[in-house]
């Protein structure tokens, strides 16, 4: 199993190609089987993963364009391990809960291709190959949104595509420049992040490169003010598209910050901490308010996603172990929770063909099981202690508290806003008398839906109570990441900033 | 009394013109066969012509190091060999597209294929010389053949296209002659090497006149490369010609013109002439941007591809400004990958060419609506080529773009790199349009659209080959780069 990472990457792609030959009737079962195997593979990876080792593991390299320093280079560490597992898990769950009937074969094959690109993004350490999969993931998503989406689906899919494509092209220029810098310093071309980590970059170069990478990642996250594609994409995407988008695709952006921006440009990262924190804060406050005003259930969750991604950004740019580790944990929990919420909206949309909150009311009495699951997920989303949402949110804010108590305070207070819109959503659609005749005949969640949702509920509670198995390996790798940043920082200001952010019990 | 001319036969170095001779002999053979045997099928001529091209390609093998011949008129160096490779392979592939199913007027004439070969010989002369006179002769040979071939297509707009191309081409010819004349007057030579030497030694004496010469040459080369503002003919000419010929025009003549541009502007880039660099920079930026924006408005895929190919030419022209070894490599890498992708793209249009008049233009976007439902494989192929043209990794043209932008970054032209990147983003929008129509829209009801009505097994094979190459191009970049950098280095660029 030395090549387990490559197997993880290419198994879904091969399965997708074979999928063209599978009959229409059995394609769903086939897809679930494939993604289940993929999930098992990722569990094997976790089993084989040495949690005591903070560095890169299972590294594998194949030369692609050696004269230009581009190699297929994959490896996994504590940071990427759980994102890979999240990807394989959520893809499997979203396929189990899949209700789409039209053109099922093309949809399933697109999802499998998408899975390949997502897993690869988290595993590739060569910048160009990373970029390759990063861009490639747009194609199946374009198709999924554009072909199975709502009324404005074509507009939404093109907007999604162009927005992210443009941002990442600028990032490509940054990558090419870094490759060139490496060439100038060492005489060899290389696009491997591990090699790049050896470079000490002057401050102004760091600033420019940081901005170039920032554009690529910030649009993907999405950070305010680059978030405008997301509500459209979510609003128009079919359920499975929204689930994967929220659960995994957005994490690619935050992962990029952790993997590229922080270790490569420590001084610039420290320099931009406060501006980025303010952007994140705007995201948290503003989108929470926008979410409150939405009439559409799915839009509420879409905006709440943007809001939560703001907390993740805050955690990452705390630049300490608690913050970054918490942010990574929050990525995982947000993946599970928002994925589940989108799936829940999908369940009700499937029955009523509407997502407007005003259409519902009193659902709790006709659909008790559904209401319970929705309630638990909602609590996790709000960040109630003992749910998965609490751990990451708490750690992220704790991390940032060391950097700026005021911003943390505002962010912490605005999380209340999150509780407000979520609870209002819950109240309006689940409590009270049944106002709409059509809702009386609704059937409760059952069978396949429960198979998809119950594991998520279990995870939300188990990991909420006992997050250690994930937090430990994550923190190990993050500690090392912070060490790298300390070593690479060329300005004394950054060094002191990093040291103070990472000191124990000391508040600035 | 005129002294008898004493030519040492060996000094002519006949080897240098063997490739061109093969093409010319091939053309003459086809014409002769046509004289005697009247009722031969077109496929015979096509295969015969392709065979000559293959022999031609074989004769190129083994050139290494700059070889001169014919009183130094000929110069077969690395870039010439590379360009001839691309020209020959490109021509052979595009020629095979004539093995189509429907009967089109021009394909039934043996002369059509003879003209193809004459044109190839012209291009080969163009790239294998640094003498402005021989370049001129090659250019004219090729252009004359091309004008005729466009006119042979008997659709309504073909004549218009041919006349437009001819008149504009004639103007470009005049520009070229005038430019050459000025440089001859300034330096007493028509050989680019000598011109460069004299100009540098005299420290660009008489600079305004030099600039005038550059302006004329720019007009001539710019016309052939369809650089802005000499690009106005492109869309109409593409629209008037058949899809297979339009694809050909978008790739093969341009590589020949790139070589001329590379050899000519090298004089000024190497001397670090800020004015000429500035002019070129402006032209490159405009050529990338303006046609890109016009392409956004097109509703006909062929016209869209026409404008986009202008933009691609602008991209590659940027490499000439950079003037580094890496950028020269990038020209060839980009163009060989572009050849494959564009061949695939135009071949797909050609497969779907029909004789009906359902839509206001041949390849209206609406014609392709919902194609994934009716012919999924064809739609997937076409989508693939569009993605590749847009520069989505890992498909072929991405590597060309990446290497080219990389060379811009390495040469310190960050702003240029950003402009290239922004243009890629704009281009992505219109390349998505056909994809949106094919994959995301419902088919137009009650329209009798016939896809693949022009498809034959050979055509499908070509498209298949292109698709495979486009997908696995990641593996091919390294060997390609190896070959390219070898040839570029031996010619000293």
Q: Which residue has the higher pLDDT, B492 or A225?
A: A225
In-domain check, residue B229: no
DSSP letter string, B283-306: HHHHHHHHHHHHHHT--BHHHHHH
Q: Which residue has the higher pLDDT, B154 or A81?
A: A81
| Alpha-carbon gap, residue B389 to B439, rounded angstroms | 17
The DSSP output letter for B15 is: G
Find, among A282, A299, A376, the residue nearest to A336 by Cα: A376
Alpha-carbon distances of B188 from A6, B213, B216, rounded to whole Å: 64, 14, 18
In-domain check, residue B53: no
pLDDT at B356: 67
Residues A165, B439: C-beta atoms closer than 8 Å: no
Residues A128, B402: C-beta atoms closer than 8 Å: yes
For residues A96 and A451, is the Cβ–Cβ distance under 8 A? yes
In-domain check, residue B385: yes
Q: Is A425 helix (H, G, I), strand (E, B) or coil?
A: helix
CB neighbourhood size of A458 (10 A): 10
Q: Which residues of B touch A158 (CB under 8 A)?
A: 429, 432, 436
CA angle A295, A335, A145 (to 5 degrees): 60
Residues B421, A161: C-beta atoms closer than 8 Å: no
Segment A96-119, tens digit of pLDDT? 988 888 889 999 999 999 999 999
HSE-CB of A41 using CA atoms within 13 angstroms = 23
Q: How many residues does chain A have?
A: 508
pLDDT at B63: 75
For residues A292 and A420, is the Cβ–Cβ distance under 8 A? yes
In-domain check, residue B295: yes
pLDDT at B178: 93
Point out the residue among B399, B421, B436 whose CB comes nearest to the CB of A146.
B436
Segment A279-314, tens digit of pLDDT? 999 998 888 889 989 989 999 999 998 889 999 999
Could you identify the residue written with the tokens 């926008």?
A290
In-domain check, residue B139: no
Segment B219-272, tens digit of pLDDT? 999 998 988 888 888 888 888 888 889 999 999 999 999 999 999 998 899 888
- Ramachandran region, residue B272 (left: φ > 0; alpha: ψ -120 to 50; beta: rest): left
**Per-residue pLDDT at A508 exceeds 50:** no
The DSSP output letter for A62 is: E
Q: Within chain B, which residues score under 50 in pLDDT?
A: none
pLDDT at A507: 46
CA distance, residue B298 to nearest chain A CA (Å): 17
Q: Which residues of B touch A116 (CB under 8 A)?
A: none
Q: Which residues of B touch A172 (CB under 8 A)?
A: 402, 405, 421
Radius of gyration of chain A measured on its C-alpha atoms: 22
And the tokens for A382?
Answer: 């709000």
| Alpha-carbon gap, residue A457 to A448, rounded angstroms | 15
Range of the domain at B477: 273-354+361-493
Which residues does A224 contact at the CB level (< 8 Å), separation at least 6?
Answer: A279, A282, A283, A286, A287, A306, A310
And the tokens for A374?
Answer: 């929705």
| Alpha-carbon gap, residue A191 to A180, rounded angstroms | 9
Q: Given CA atoms A246, A249, A251, A253 in this order, what sign does their dihedral have?
A: negative
A172 touches chain B (CB under 8 A): yes
Radius of gyration of chain B measured on its C-alpha atoms: 22
Residues in chain B whose beta carbon is closer than 8 A to a beta carbon of chain A? 372, 387, 392-394, 398-399, 402-403, 405-406, 409-410, 414, 417-418, 421-422, 424-425, 428-429, 432, 435-436, 439-441, 474-475, 477-478, 481-482, 485
Segment A314-362, tens digit of pLDDT? 999 999 999 999 999 999 999 999 999 999 999 998 888 888 888 888 8
How many distinct structural domains can be found in chain B?
Answer: 1
| Alpha-carbon gap, residue A7 to B162, rounded angstroms | 55
Could you identify the residue written with the tokens 């090699």?
A195
In-domain check, residue B225: no
Q: What phi, psi does A62 have (nearest 5°)? A: -130, 135
In-domain check, residue B334: yes
A188 touches chain B (CB under 8 A): no
pLDDT at A90: 95
CA distance, residue B385 to nearest chain A CA (Å): 13
And the tokens for B385?
Answer: 């080529």
Which residues does A8 contact at the CB level (< 8 Å), separation at least 6?
Answer: A38, A41, A42, A45, A84, A88, A119, A123
Q: List b or e across B268-302, with b for residues whose CB sees 16 or more CB atoms inside 10 angstroms.
A: bbeeebeebbebbbebbbebbbbbbebbeebebbb
In-domain check, residue B120: no
């Amino acid at each position: 199993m030395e090549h387990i990472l490559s197997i993880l990457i290419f198994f879904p792609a091969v399965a997708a190609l074979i999928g063209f030959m599978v009959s229409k009737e059995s394609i769903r079962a086939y897809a679930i089987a494939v993604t289940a195997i993929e999930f098992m593979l990722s569990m094997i990876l976790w089993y084989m993963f040495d949690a005591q080792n903070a560095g890169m593991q299972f590294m594998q390299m194949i030369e692609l364009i050696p004269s230009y320093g581009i190699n297929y280079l994959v490896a996994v560490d504590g940071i990427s391990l759980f994102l890979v597992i999240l990807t394989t898990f959520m893809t499997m769950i979203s396929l189990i809960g899949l209700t789409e009937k039209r053109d099922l074969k093309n949809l399933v094959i697109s999802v499998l291709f998408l899975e390949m690109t997502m897993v690869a993004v988290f595993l590739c350490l060569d910048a160009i190959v990373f970029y390759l999969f990063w861009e490639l993931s747009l194609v199946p998503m374009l198709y999924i949104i554009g072909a199975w989406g709502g009324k404005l689906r074509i507009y939404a899919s093109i907007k999604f595509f162009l927005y992210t494509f443009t941002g990442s092209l600028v990032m490509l220029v940054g990558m090419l420049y870094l490759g060139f810098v490496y060439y100038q310093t060492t005489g060899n071309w290389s696009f491997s992040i591990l090699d790049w980590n050896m470079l000490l970059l002057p401050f102004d170069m760091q600033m420019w490169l940081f901005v170039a990478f920032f554009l690529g990642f910030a649009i993907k996250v999405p950070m305010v003010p680059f978030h405008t594609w997301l509500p459209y994409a979510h609003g128009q995407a079919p359920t499975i598209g929204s689930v994967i988008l929220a659960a995994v695709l957005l994490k690619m952006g935050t992962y990029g910050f952790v993997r590229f921006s922080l270790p490569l440009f420590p001084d610039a990262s420290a320099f931009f901490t406060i501006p980025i924190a303010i952007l994140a804060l705007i995201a948290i406050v503003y989108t929470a308010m926008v979410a409150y005003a939405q009439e559409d259930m799915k839009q509420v969750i879409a905006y709440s996603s943007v809001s939560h991604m703001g907390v993740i950004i805050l955690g990452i740019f705390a630049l300490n172990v608690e913050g970054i580790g918490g942010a990574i944990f929050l990525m995982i929990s947000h993946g599970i929770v928002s994925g589940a919420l989108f799936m829940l909206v999908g369940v009700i949309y499937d029955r009523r063909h509407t997502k407007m909150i005003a259409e519902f009311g009193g659902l709790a009495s006709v659909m008790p099981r559904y209401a319970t699951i929705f309630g638990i997920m909602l609590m996790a989303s709000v960040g109630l202690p003992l749910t998965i949402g609490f751990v990451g949110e708490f750690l992220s804010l704790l991390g940032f508290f060391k950097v700026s108590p005021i911003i943390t305070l505002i962010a912490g207070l605005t999380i209340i806003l999150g509780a407000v819109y979520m609870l209002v959503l819950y109240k309006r659609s689940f409590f009270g008398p049944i106002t709409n005749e059509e809702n009386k005949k609704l059937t409760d969640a059952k069978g396949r839906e429960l198979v998809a949702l119950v594991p998520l509920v279990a995870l939300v509670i188990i990991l909420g109570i006992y997050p250690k198995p994930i937090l430990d390996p994550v923190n190990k790798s993050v500690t090392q990441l912070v060490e790298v940043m300390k070593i690479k920082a060329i300005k004394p200001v950054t060094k002191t900033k990093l040291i103070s952010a990472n000191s124990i019990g000391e508040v600035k | 009394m005129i002294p008898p001319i004493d030519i040492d036969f060996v000094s002519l170095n006949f080897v240098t013109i063997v490739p061109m001779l093969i093409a010319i002999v091939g053309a003459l053979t086809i014409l002769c066969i046509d004289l005697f045997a009247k009722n031969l099928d077109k496929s015979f001529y096509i295969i015969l012509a392709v065979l000559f091209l293959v022999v031609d390609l074989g004769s190129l093998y083994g050139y290494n190091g700059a070889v001169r011949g014919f009183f130094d008129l000929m110069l077969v160096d690395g870039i010439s060999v590379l360009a001839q490779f691309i020209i020959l392979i490109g021509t052979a592939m595009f020629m095979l597209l004539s093995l189509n199913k429907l009967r089109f007027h021009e394909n039934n004439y043996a002369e059509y294929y003879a003209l193809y070969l004459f044109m190839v010989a012209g291009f080969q002369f163009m790239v294998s010389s640094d003498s402005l006179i021989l370049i001129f002769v090659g250019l004219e040979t090729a252009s004359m053949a091309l004008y005729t071939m466009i006119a042979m297509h008997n659709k309504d707009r073909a004549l218009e296209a041919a006349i437009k191309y001819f008149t504009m081409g004639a103007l470009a010819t005049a520009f070229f002659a005038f430019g050459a004349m000025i440089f001859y007057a300034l330096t007493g030579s028509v050989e680019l090497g000598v011109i460069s030497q004299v100009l540098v030694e005299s420290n660009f004496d008489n600079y305004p006149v030099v600039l005038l010469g550059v302006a004329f040459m720019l007009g001539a080369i710019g016309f052939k490369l369809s650089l802005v503002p000499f690009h106005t003919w492109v869309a109409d000419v593409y629209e008037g010609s058949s899809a297979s010929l339009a694809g050909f025009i978008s790739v093969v003549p341009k590589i020949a013109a790139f070589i001329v541009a590379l050899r000519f502007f090298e004089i000024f880039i190497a001397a670090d002439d800020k004015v000429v660099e500035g002019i070129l920079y402006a032209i490159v930026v405009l050529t990338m941007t303006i046609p890109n924006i016009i392409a956004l408005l097109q509703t006909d895929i062929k016209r869209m591809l026409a404008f986009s190919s202008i933009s691609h030419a602008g991209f590659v022209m940027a490499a000439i400004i950079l003037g580094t070894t890496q950028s020269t490599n990038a020209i060839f890498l980009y163009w060989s990958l572009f050849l494959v992708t564009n061949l695939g793209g135009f071949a797909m249009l050609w497969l779907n060419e029909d004789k009906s008049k359902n839509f206001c233009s041949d390849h209206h976007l609406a014609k392709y609506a919902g194609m994934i439902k009716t012919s999924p494989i064809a739609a997937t192929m076409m989508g693939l080529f569009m993605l590749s043209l847009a520069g989505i990794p890992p498909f072929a043209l991405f590597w060309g773009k990446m290497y080219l932008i990389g060379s811009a970054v390495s040469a310190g032209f960050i702003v240029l790199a950003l402009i290239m990147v922004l243009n890629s983003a704009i281009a992505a929008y219109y390349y998505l349009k056909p994809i949106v129509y094919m994959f995301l829209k419902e088919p137009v009801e009650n329209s009798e659209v016939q896809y693949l009505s022009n498809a034959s097994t050979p055509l499908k094979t070509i498209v298949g080959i292109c698709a495979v190459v486009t997908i696995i191009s990641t593996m091919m970049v390294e060997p390609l780069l190896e070959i390219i950098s070898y040839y570029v280095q031996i010619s000293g660029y």
